Copies of this chain bind each other. A is one copy, B any other.
Amino acid sequence: MTERLTLAIDAMGGDKAPHMVVEGVALFLDRPAADVKFLLFGDQARLKPLLDRYPRAAAVSEIRHTADIVTNEEKPGVALRNGRNSSMRLAIDAVGNGEAAGIISAGNTGALMAMAKFVLKTLPGIDRPAIATYYPTLRGESVMLDLGANVDCDADNLVQFAVMGEVFARNVLGLENPSIGILNVGAEGLKGNEAVKKAAATLESTPLPIKFYGFVEGDDIGAGTVDVVVTDGFTGNIALKTAEGTARMFGQFLKDAIKSTILSQLGAVLARGALNKFKMRVDPRRYNGAMFLGLNGICIKSHGGTDGVGFANAIKVAVELITNSLNENIKKDYAELSAHAVPLKEAVAGA
């Protein structure tokens, strides 16, 4: 018999919360999944009637009432000081005190990261946690990090992101020897800022058991040239959102074109099955659920504007990280990598 897994949910975070959160829990349960129990943190008066609509979700959920919430506008520091009884904070606390194995929130990203760092702390060897996501590419799926947790990154941060991304790709995406690339403005070694050059020198010159590809460019993200794309949080956030915006524009242009003539509308009816398959393949909800890597606990950030389908996917991501023992593997690999810590630091200093 497998152990029942408990997840803590910030039921009040997200534009369409708490409805989409409860719906997400219900949709998650519709799929064959691990045996999961939910702790829903939020307003009992709003959550109870919603749960009543989804008996299967209600059967495995427990409401932990709090009236406090963290708004989207709140600064991380303020949320950290004043939000001790917020649904977000209490959900994180449940992971901190061992009640839950992971937490999912669609609320304020900065506040979630600040609180999660404060409560859960970082893993040994990791200076700063990073936000990661996986996404579709021409070759399959890749992971990219950091997506916004760290606006300024030095070479050490980037090297740590590379290690965490590699562990994720191996243990959760199931890739055997995942390749790692550092995002840059050119593939040649002489291009880019100091941080990427030093990080590349480190990953190239030390005998780490890591398959370092070298630099990749923006178009390598969609091409899937590498399994793990490493970048600072400023660039990564902008690259990810640029990709989302481009996909949206592309989709709209396609719709406009199809609507433009009777013949093309008829063609779209014939191609409906294929078009739906295409839509599903690029549906951002399938990739909803950004992971905070490097924390001593599983914390998943859902897109704030997502619906129940997207939130269900964020829950799935949390379950995958937990059942694949992501953090134990990062810790284990980082301990092994520490053997290389001295030449690694020297390489950085000498670059």
Q: Name the residue of chain B whose CB is nearest to the CB of A139.
A: B249
* A193 to B269 Cα, complex, angstroms: 48
Interface contact B233-A218, CB-CB below 8 Å: no
Q: Mark A221-260, 1 if CB is under 8 A from B, else 0.
A: 1110000000101110111111111111111111011101
A1 interfacial contact with B, CB 8 Å: no
Q: Name the residue of chain B whose CB is nearest to the CB of A260.
A: B274
Q: Mark A270-306, 1 if CB is under 8 A from B, else 0.
A: 1111110110011000000000000000000000000
As for how many copies of this chain the complex holds, the number is 2
A192 interfacial contact with B, CB 8 Å: yes
Q: Interface of chain A, helix or strand or loop or mixed?
A: helix
Neighbouring B residues of A191 by C-beta, 8 Å: 151
**Interface residue tally of chain A, by bracket?**
35 or more
* A347 to B219 Cα, complex, angstroms: 37
A138 interfacial contact with B, CB 8 Å: yes
The answer to whether A254 and B254 touch (CB under 8 A), given A238-B235, A240-B218, A243-B242, is yes
Chain A interface (Cβ < 8 Å from any Cβ of B): 73, 75, 136-138, 148, 151-152, 183-185, 188, 190-193, 217-223, 231, 233-235, 237-254, 256-258, 260-261, 263-264, 266-275, 277-278, 281-282
